[in-house]
Amino acid sequence: MLLRRRARAGPRRLQFLAGVLMLGCLLVTVTLLHPPLQDLSGDPSAQAEKPSPPLGHQVDFGKPQDWVLETEEESQEYYPLEGLAPFISLKEDELLVAVASPRDRRNQSQSRRTGRYRLVGQQGRRPEEGALAGPALPWGAELEGLSPPDSDADDGEEKFGPDAYGFNEVLSQRISLRRELPEVRDPLCLQQDYGDDLPTASVIICFHDEAWSTLLRTVHSVLDTTPRAFLKEIILVDDLSQQGHLKSALSDHVAQLERVRLLRSNKRLGVIKGRMLGAARAAGDVLVFMDSHCECHKGWLEPLLSRIAGDRSRVVSPIIDVIDWKNFQYYHSLELQRGVFDWELNFHWKPLPEQERKLRQSPISPIRSPVVPGGVVAIDRHYFQNTGAYDSLMSIWGSENLELSIRVWLCGGSVEILPCSRVGHIYRNQAPKTSPEQEAALKNKIRIVETWLGSFKDTFYQHNPKAFSLSQAEKQDCSERLQLQKRLGCRTFHWFLANLSPELYPSEHQPGFSGKLYNSGIGSCADCASGRALGGGLVTLSPCSDSWQQQHLEYTGKKQISCREQARLCFDVNQENRVTLQNCTEETRSFHRQHWEVQENGMIVHILSGKCIEAVESDHEKTLSLQLCDGKANQVWRFDRIHAVDQR
Phi and psi at 534, nearest 5°, equal -140, 125
- What value does the mean pLDDT of the chain take? 77
12, 389, 2, 469: which is closest to 204 by C-alpha? 389
Q: Please give the CATH architecture assigned to the domain spanning 186-426.
A: Alpha-Beta Complex (3.90)
Domain spanning 509-644: which CATH class is it, in words? mainly beta
At residue 434, the pLDDT reads: 65
How many of the other CB atoms lie within 10 Å of CB of 497? 21
What does pTM read for this prediction?
0.63
User: How does DSSP classify residue 411?
Assistant: T
At residue 32, the pLDDT reads: 56
Taking the domains of the chain in order of start, what are their residue ranges?
53-127, 186-426, 435-499, 509-644
| Separation of alpha carbons 582 and 95, rounded Å | 66
Q: Is it the case that residue 538 has pLDDT exceeding 50?
A: yes
At residue 593, the pLDDT reads: 85
Q: Is it the case that residue 622 has pLDDT exceeding 50?
A: yes
What are the tens digits of pLDDT across the range 95-125?
A: 443 333 333 334 444 333 444 333 333 333 3
CA distance readout (Å), 90 to 62, 260, 283, 338: 11, 9, 15, 39
- Lowest-pLDDT range, 19-23, 550-554, 600-604, 635-639? 19-23
CB contact at 8 A, 613 and 604: yes
pLDDT (average), residues 448-452: 95
At residue 495, the pLDDT reads: 85
401, 384, 376, 390: which is closest to 284 by C-alpha? 384
Write the CATH number of the domain with boundaries 435-499: 1.10.8.460
Maximum pairwise Cα distance, the chain: 150
Q: Is it the case that residue 2 has pLDDT exceeding 70?
A: no
At residue 199, the pLDDT reads: 98
What are the tens digits of pLDDT across the range 230-284?
A: 999 999 999 999 988 899 999 999 999 999 999 999 999 989 999 999 999 999 9
| Cross-strand partners of 514 | 554, 641
Over 440-479, what HEC string results? HHHHHHHHHHHHHCHHHHHHHHHHCHHHHHHHHHCCCCCH
Q: Do 186-426 and 435-499 show the same overall fold? A: no
Cα dihedral sign for 476, 480, 485, 486? positive
CA–centroid distance for 506 within its chain: 28
At residue 85, the pLDDT reads: 37
Q: Is it the case that residue 510 has pLDDT exceeding 50?
A: no
Q: Which residue has the higher pLDDT, 155 or 610?
A: 610
